[in-house]
């Protein structure tokens, strides 16, 4: 089902790539962070425990530095003056033992706060994945045509992982950093207000530099994320298209295009990481200069007897220490930025307009006879003003309607509208007299069975793939459906029979066998209306006969729409519609259309010329 769908952004050489985001449009980081924090509301108790461990960590870590003063002033200096002072020796040993215990407790608090924060972050990312996956089920077909699967995979995997990493590190760093700065500044002012004031000179400089880098570097990380998604999309598309690439000897062209995209990712990644990497040395140099100034002044105060050697030691350590949390946050800057950019992209998916709300309140379509009517239907895709023009079809219950015409004529659009992948612009489609827009979509689609040109099977057993047509079906009902589809014989010959697991892309069975499984799935669902979209176009002639036999059983008693490129498969249809440029230009039975010697006659006899 591919011919009239919205045009996919080019992915090949010279193409635009799987995604393109307008980076000129400002991103609202504050709103993104605020929205992300709402996901933490369900973990308030654990976060409270995390905060307690962070507070304990800050207190214990600060205590280690404070203990240096009595160790130096009360024990080490006296020992330097009198090495035989046994009381000073014992006191020094006790202080060192206490310091060791505090160091161990600090490590334990650090481990526990990290462990609980990881638990919280994993809960958040699980919720995000659940919401994104559930959202994808509600998005219209139009969204998946415009957004390649590589882009979606990048968002679901890479962006959510970036959020997880940011949550694991940034919240701990922010809370502990703020507390550490506050505690250290209080201690510095208690020790010596003059030296503390001098130490504060570097703080506004550090905050100013970090702010400037943050504003500049955010766009760089967004570009990096977009370039990564583009590379992922390209890889997925061309790994799956290897047969075509090799058949047309396009390996070098594809390699060159990939190198271009990969080079774009390298440049964007280099810029983002380089700017983020500037933070640490800049912060370190500013901190070192400030520490050097305060240490010199502290030395002068010590010589004049205003402070002790131990006070100089802890003051020098604290004056260096209070800028450390800011530096650590700066070191995590690229992680935080990547997490925010990832969250923005995830929220873009969650904010997409849904195809239809569940429990919409519209009535279910109920049991139907299968009378389908298109009345004055007009429709066009965004890039094509008119895909269908004034289409009128009246399919009586049990009739088989074949639809033929050149590529892009509008054949698949007709069934897309019937299934409500899209809605008509003007006119209406009725089933048993009910406008399909006035009934619940789930019930509508449950009453329509589809056999597509490209069969979709899942990495599960054959039994479960058939059961996908009706999840409450018994094994016996599944086997009976397989027999009606003429699939039972080949399934039994497989090593594990119905328990054979379909490999990725159904590589362990033939395309014809996959189509028979798909037909069995539709038979099991027992729809009253059936759509066959070029169901035999990918199989050989021998398998086509087998599939035709299975489909003939499927068509019995059902209103059916058959899109076919092999006209020999539709000669027994009740009515054949010839469509071109969105218009039904001929209709009738096979014999009627042949006798007219019009467009269908030319198509059937192999001399079709595109109608004007």
User: What is the per-residue pLDDT across 98-120, written as a single tens digit (0 to 9) for each?
Assistant: 889 999 999 999 999 989 998 99
Domain co-membership, 591 together with 500? yes
Q: Confidence band (pLDDT; 50, 70, 90) for 24?
A: very low
Helix H, strand E, coil C: the string for 57-96 is HHHHHHHHHHCHHHHHHHHHHHHHHCCCCHHHHHHHHHHH
For the ranges 110-124, 138-152, 298-312, 345-359, the maximum mean pLDDT occurs at 110-124
| pTM across the whole model | 0.63
Higher-confidence residue of 166 and 276: namely 166
CATH assignment at residue 176: 1.20.1560.10
Asked whether 154 and 291 are in contact (CB, 8 A), the reply is: no
Does an H or E element contain 576, and which?
strand 575-580
Domain co-membership, 404 together with 499? yes
How many independent structural domains does the chain possess?
2
Higher-confidence residue of 575 and 72: namely 575
8 is a domain residue:
no
pLDDT, position 539: 57
64 is a domain residue:
yes
22 is a domain residue:
no
pLDDT, position 382: 66
- With a cut of 70, say whether residue 440 has pLDDT above it: yes
pLDDT, position 104: 94
- Report residue 85: phi and psi, to 5°: -70, 100
Domain's final residue, options 305, 320, 350: 350
357 is a domain residue:
no
Average pLDDT on 156-163 reads 86
Least confident range of 164-173, 317-326, 597-606: 317-326
Domain co-membership, 331 together with 419? no
Domain's final residue, options 285, 315, 350: 350
Domain co-membership, 339 together with 376? no
Residue 272, token pair as written in the block: 């983002």
44 is a domain residue:
yes
From the list 529, 358, 360, the residue with the least C-alpha distance to 429 is 529
Domain co-membership, 382 together with 331? no
Domain co-membership, 126 together with 67? yes
With pLDDT > 90 as the criterion, what percentage of the chain qualifies? 16
Least confident range of 3-17, 316-330, 405-419, 514-528: 3-17
From the list 427, 420, 424, the residue with the least C-alpha distance to 441 is 420
Domain's final residue, options 316, 350, 384: 350
Rounded to whole angstroms, how far apart are CA atoms 317 and 69? Answer: 11
- With a cut of 80, say whether residue 324 has pLDDT above it: no
- Report residue 456: phi and psi, to 5°: -110, 115
> Helix crossing, 160-191 with 324-331: angle to 10°?
170
Q: Confidence band (pLDDT; 50, 70, 90) for 17?
A: very low
Q: Confidence band (pLDDT; 50, 70, 90) for 27?
A: low
Domain co-membership, 346 together with 399? no
10 is a domain residue:
no
Q: Confidence band (pLDDT; 50, 70, 90) for 577?
A: very high
Domain co-membership, 229 together with 341? yes
pLDDT, position 478: 92
Least confident range of 177-186, 348-357, 399-408, 444-453: 348-357
With pLDDT > 70 as the criterion, what percentage of the chain qualifies? 84
23 is a domain residue:
no
Domain co-membership, 232 together with 87? yes
Domain co-membership, 278 together with 404? no
Pairing of strands 529-533, 372-381: unpaired
Average pLDDT on 335-358 reads 81
Give residue 228's domain range: 40-350
The dihedral over CA atoms of 40, 45, 46, 50, expressed in degrees to the nearest 10, equals 100
Average pLDDT on 214-228 reads 75
Rounded to whole angstroms, how far apart are CA atoms 104 and 57? Answer: 11
Domain co-membership, 254 together with 107? yes
Rounded to whole angstroms, how far apart are CA atoms 334 and 158? Answer: 15
CATH assignment at residue 464: 3.40.50.300
Rounded to whole angstroms, how far apart are CA atoms 78 and 76? Answer: 6
Domain co-membership, 279 together with 394? no
Rounded to whole angstroms, how far apart are CA atoms 439 and 387? Answer: 24
pLDDT, position 108: 95
96 is a domain residue:
yes
């Amino acid at each position: 089902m591919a011919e009239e769908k919205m045009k996919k952004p080019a992915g090949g050489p010279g193409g635009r790539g799987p995604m393109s985001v307008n980076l000129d449009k400002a991103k609202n980081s504050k709103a993104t962070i605020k929205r992300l924090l709402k996901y933490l509301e369900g973990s308030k108790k654990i976060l409270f425990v995390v905060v307690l461990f962070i507070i304990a960590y800050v207190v214990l870590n600060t205590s280690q530095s404070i203990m240096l003063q009595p160790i130096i002033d009360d024990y080490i200096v006296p020992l330097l003056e009198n090495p035989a002072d046994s009381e000073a020796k014992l006191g020094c040993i006790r202080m060192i033992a206490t310091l060791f215990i505090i160091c161990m407790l600090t490590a334990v608090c650090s481990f526990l706060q990290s462990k609980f924060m990881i638990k919280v972050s994993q809960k958040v990312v699980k919720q995000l994945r659940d919401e994104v996956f559930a959202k994808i089920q509600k998005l219209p077909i139009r969204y998946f045509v415009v957004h390649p699967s590589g882009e979606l995979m990048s968002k679901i995997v890479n962006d959510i992982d970036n959020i997880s990493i940011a949550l694991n590190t940034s919240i701990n760093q922010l809370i502990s950093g703020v507390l550490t700065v506050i505690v250290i500044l209080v201690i510095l002012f208690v020790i010596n207000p003059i030296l503390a004031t001098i130490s504060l000179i570097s703080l506004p400089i550090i905050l100013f530099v970090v702010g400037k880098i943050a504003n500049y570097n955010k766009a760089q990380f967004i570009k990096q994320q977009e370039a990564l998604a583009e590379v992922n999309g390209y890889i997925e598309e061309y790994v799956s298209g290897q047969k075509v690439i090799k058949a047309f000897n396009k390996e070098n062209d594809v390699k060159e295009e990939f190198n271009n995209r990969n080079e774009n990712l390298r440049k964007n990644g280099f810029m983002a990481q380089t700017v983020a990497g500037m933070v640490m040395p800049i912060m370190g140099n500013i901190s070192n200069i400030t520490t050097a100034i305060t240490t010199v002044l502290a030395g002068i105060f010590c010589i004049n007897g205003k402070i002790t050697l131990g006070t100089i030691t802890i003051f020098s350590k604290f004056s260096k220490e209070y800028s450390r949390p800011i530096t650590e946050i700066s070191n995590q800057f690229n992680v935080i930025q990547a997490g925010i950019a990832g969250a923005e992209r995830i929220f873009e998916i969650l904010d997409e307009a849904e195809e239809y709300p569940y429990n919409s309140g519209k009535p279910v379509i109920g049991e139907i006879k299968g009378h389908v009517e298109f009345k004055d239907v007009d429709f066009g895709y965004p890039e094509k003003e008119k895909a269908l023009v004034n289409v009128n079809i009246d399919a009586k219950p049990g009739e088989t309607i074949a639809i033929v015409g050149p590529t892009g004529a509008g054949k698949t659009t007709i069934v897309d509208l019937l299934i409500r992948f899209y809605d008509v612009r003007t006119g209406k489609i009725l089933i048993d007299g009910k406008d399909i827009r006035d009934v619940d979509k789930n019930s509508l689609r449950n009453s329509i069975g589809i056999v597509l040109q490209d069969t979709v099977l899942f990495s599960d057993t054959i039994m479960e793939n058939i059961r996908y047509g009706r999840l409450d079906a018994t094994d016996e009902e599944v086997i009976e459906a397989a027999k009606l589809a003429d699939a039972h014989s080949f399934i039994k010959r497989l090593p594990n029979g119905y328990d054979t697991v379909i490999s990725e892309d159904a590589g362990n069975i033939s395309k014809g066998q996959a189509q028979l499984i798909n037909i069995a799935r539709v038979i099991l669902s027992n729809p009253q209306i059936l759509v066959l979209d070029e169901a035999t176009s990918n199989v050989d002639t021998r398998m086509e006969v087998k599939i035709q036999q299975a489909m003939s059983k499927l068509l019995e008693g059902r209103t059916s729409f058959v899109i076919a490129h092999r006209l020999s498969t539709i000669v027994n249809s009740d009515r054949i519609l010839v469509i071109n440029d969105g218009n039904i230009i001929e209709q009738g039975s096979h014999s009627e259309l042949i006798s007219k010697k019009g467009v269908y006659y030319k198509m059937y006899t192999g001399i079709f010329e595109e109608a004007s």
